[in-house]
Copies of this chain bind each other. A is one copy, B any other.
Amino acid sequence: MEKADKRCAIVRATLDLVAEQGFHGAPMALVAERAGVAAGTIYRYFESKDVLINEVFLYLEERFFAAVMEHYPEGAPVRERFLHIGGVLVRYCIGAPLEFRFLEQFHNSPYGVAHCREKFFNKDNRDLITELFGEALDSGIVKDLPLPVLFGLAFGPLLDICRDHILHFIELDDELISRCVEACWDAIRR
């Protein structure tokens, strides 16, 4: 196995185990076993378990960003751009339930304290959305509320319904997703 592959296997094993069992269910020995490497080997790639967990988080951010940015309608109106992002967000999350569960675990945990809520979206990504919301605020299309509040109104419910879907409390389809994203738009639009 090549070095990159090995590192990737460790990340993947950590992600899966944490998503499925929580941090409590992901001891290093088990991570190593799942990744097909020796326990000591992990420490050649990651300084400590804390570092490993955080790097998994960064890895997820990266993938998440790439997904959400695909086919972003750069020049379209604010509303259309928001609906795009919301839809892609939900579809991505329910299509990657383990990644989603990991992020949920991460947020409420000692590991997540360092990352504030908005870090859920990585820097570049946030800039993009921040820019979108900034433009929306300037043009008076959305309510004049602090950015974190707009984020909460816009994306909080979307993450909630992803969770509900993954836990089988509801069954999302394209039509329902659209109506949910539109409801979020109703919350923020003036």
Contact = CB atoms under 8 A, between A and B. Distances in A.
A110 interface: yes
Contact of A152 (B104, B108, B164, B167): B164
A134 interface: no
Interface in A69-123: 104-105, 107-110, 116-118
Contacts of A108: 22, 104-105, 107-109
Interface residues of A, number: 41
Interface stretch (A8-16, A30-38, A53-61, A143-151): A143-151
Nearest to A144: B179
Contacts of A116: 167, 169
24 contacts: A22-B109, A24-B109, A24-B110, A25-B110, A105-B108, A108-B108, A108-B109, A117-B160, A117-B169, A146-B170, A146-B176, A148-B169, A148-B170, A149-B157, A149-B164, A149-B170, A149-B176, A152-B164, A153-B180, A156-B156, A156-B160, A183-B187, A183-B188, A184-B187
